[in-house]
Amino acid sequence: MEVTLLGTGDTTGTPTPKCGCDTCGRADDLGVERTRFSVHVRNERTDESLLVDASPDFRYQFLAHDVPLPDAILISHVHFDHLDGLGNAYRLLDDVPVFAADETDPVTNRSVAETVSEKYHYLDAIAVRPVSPFEPFDACGFEVTLVPVEHPPLLCYGLAIEDPETGAKLSISGDTNYGIEEPSREVLRDPDLFFADGIVSATHAEHHPAGGDHADDGGTYRTFGSKHMTIEGARALAGDLDADTYRLVHLSHYIPAEAAFETDMAVDGEQFRI
């Protein structure tokens, strides 16, 4: 399993356009980027590729990184920074299945699969394949399982990708706070590689209208507001799940420059073989 992080940033990315903050400046100095989230997973046995989330930066990401176009796509939820890259299927992809959850979201009254199907009804190149959480399905020769996570107010999903022949396992938290229920954690547990959503440091909770949540015994918030984990929370979840290796993703430019590029904080283009 060859895993490439195409996009490791939050909804504005780093550097953020026209931003003069120290963190964006530091990214420029280092020559690194964090575009909107997307993960490319290639099955070296079958030479097929699964794309997890279709970033609005799709075109740029596939120009910047030496990976093949996807044979299948999975969409974790309907926020634009994980979905809108599907528009690139036009004149670029052909007969690509797009997997998405079939649960009806009480907020939208549609499932993720239905939203994708309605929004991109004009794209003959994609075929939406509804799948049920906790029910493994085959994609590109991998066994993939979606699990519900906590990203209020919308339904959102993490996932585990396993190679049934080699036993290699990649887990992705999805956009989530720290309060993931145990059945979902069990599916994600014991990965060779884990990508954990961690948007800012816990100290930033004081700037959020909702503050923080899921404090540890020392009072450190593991959730920023209600939708995303803090960096501390993401690291804690990696430990909870006994991940062999992990990287923090969905990182924002609000992380102080001196801490924003620590070893476990991913940047675009990192590649792993598991």
Confidence (pLDDT) at 266: 98
Q: What is the mean pLDDT of the chain?
A: 97
CA distances from 194 to 21, 34, 128, 160 (A): 29, 18, 26, 9
How many Å apart are CA 164 and CA 161, to the nearest integer?
A: 9
How many Å apart are CA 68 and CA 70, to the nearest integer?
A: 6
Q: Note the pLDDT tens digit of each residue in 45-85.
A: 999 999 999 999 999 999 999 999 999 999 999 999 999 99
CA distances from 69 to 9, 59, 88, 174 (A): 21, 10, 11, 22
Mean pLDDT of 215-239: 97
Q: What are the residue boundaries of the structural domains of the chain, listed by start?
A: 2-269
Domain 2-269 belongs to what architecture?
Answer: 4-Layer Sandwich (3.60)
Q: Note the pLDDT tens digit of each residue in 127-184.
A: 999 999 999 999 999 999 999 999 999 999 999 999 999 999 999 999 999 999 999 9
